[in-house]
Amino acid sequence: MDTEIDIGQLPPPAQKALDPNTPLPLRMMAAKGIVPGAKPADVLSVVVLMLDSTEPQLAATAKSTLVNLPKPLLDGALSSSLSSRVLRTLVEHSFDKPDVVEKLLRQSQLSSDSLVFLAERATERVGELIATNEQQMLAHPRVIEKLYMNKRVRMSTADRLIELAVRNNIDLDIPAFKEVAAAIRNELVSEPTPEPTFDDILFNETDRIAESIVPPSEQDDTHEANDEGEEVLKDKYLPLYQQIAQMTVTQKIRRAMLGSSAERLLLVRDSNRLDSAAVAKSP
């Protein structure tokens, strides 16, 4: 939960800017991020509070200010300890800005709700920033779940998060978690790297190829009979099949969750084929 801002704890210039009896021009200046005599953190608190103003002009101006926060104001505010309400507002307006997110993640009052919000919308770079703080991940397993289900997050990072949860006996609320947890024990989990790994590139390239395939209908199949009556893979699925064939078990499971219907068809078909082979080999 995000705690509300205590107006009584703000300095006099900030309280005056929020006073309905203060002339409108002065309150409009405050909504633009200008409060003489107030520190950046307090100015930002004023702007956030003005989002709730019953005066449309003030609320609209405050919103515009937050969308285009002056860098000196933002940097000055982030160098202080901010309330969870202010941090949540900054998260909502800057979740796709790695330089801002990096500073937000250092704030002790950042709530679990804000972390979840960030994880759901994380870009690749922001996902890396969030995932590096293992203490936060262990304290808020929902953040791990949201990062895992965000396909912009690197595959190698998703594997590390699963391994972290397994190592600390945390059960995650994601589909097929038991299968993923079992598979990760038999795979080599890479350390964080500045650049994407081969697995990350493979995951993203598979996504690109899958998106280029027209979604199959419910009656469609990935295979067809050739002139000899043998089942062969349809040409349009061949590039995608070649990508999936290179994947580890954990990668295939995640693509089955986050990928296209064409991928799921291939993965189910491949799974059925392996099950049939296992039955045929059994005594």
pLDDT in tens, 24-41: 999 999 999 999 999 999
Q: Are 161 and 144 in contact (CB under 8 A)?
A: yes
Q: Specify the 3-state DSSP secondary structure of 147.
A: helix
Looking at residue 271, its pLDDT comes to 66
In a domain, 22, yes or no: yes
Classified as helix, coil or strand, 191 is: coil
Q: Does the pLDDT value for residue 117 go beyond 90?
A: yes
Q: What domain count does the chain have?
A: 1
Task: Assign 226 a pLDDT band (cuts: 50, 70, 90).
Answer: confident
| Segment 55-92, tens digit of pLDDT | 999 999 999 999 999 999 999 999 999 999 999 999 99
The reported pLDDT for the residue numbered 1 is 53
Please give the Cα distance from 281 to 278 (Å, whole number).
5
For the residues 237-264, what does the mean pLDDT come to?
A: 93
Is 166 within the bounds of a domain? no
Say how far apart CA 249 and CA 255 lie, in whole Å. 10
User: CA–CA separation, 41 vs 48, rounded Å?
Assistant: 11
Question: For the segment 153-191, what is each residue's pLDDT rounded down to a tens digit?
Answer: 999 999 999 999 999 999 999 999 999 999 999 998 989
pLDDT band per the 50, 70, 90 thresholds, residue 279: very low
pTM for the full predicted model: 0.86
Rounding to the nearest 10 degrees, give the CA dihedral for residues 234, 238, 243, 245: 60
Catalogue the E-assigned strands of 62-193. none
Kindly tell me if the per-residue pLDDT of 277 is higher than 50: no
Please say whether the beta carbons of 210 and 237 come within 8 A.
no
Question: CB 225: neighbour CB atoms within 10 A?
Answer: 9
Is 154 within a domain?
Answer: no
Name which of 41, 47, 38 is nearest 83 in CA terms. Answer: 41
User: Smallest Cα–Cα separation from 211: which of 144, 281, 262?
Assistant: 262
- Residue 220 belongs to a domain: no
On whether residue 229 sits in a domain, the answer given is no
Q: How confident is the model at residue 272 (pLDDT cuts 50, 70, 90)?
A: low
At 20, give phi and psi (nearest 5°). Answer: -60, -20
Tell me: the pLDDT tens digits for 90-102? 999 999 899 999 9
Instruction: Kindly state whether residue 159 falls inside one of the protein's structural domains.
Output: no
What gap in Å lies between CA 152 and CA 130, rounded to an integer? 13
Largest pairwise CA distance in the chain: 89
Contact 233, 223 (CB under 8 A): yes
Within a domain: 124: no
Burial of 198 (0-12, 13-18, 19+ CB in 10 A): exposed
In a domain, 135, yes or no: no
Domain that holds residue 87: 1-109
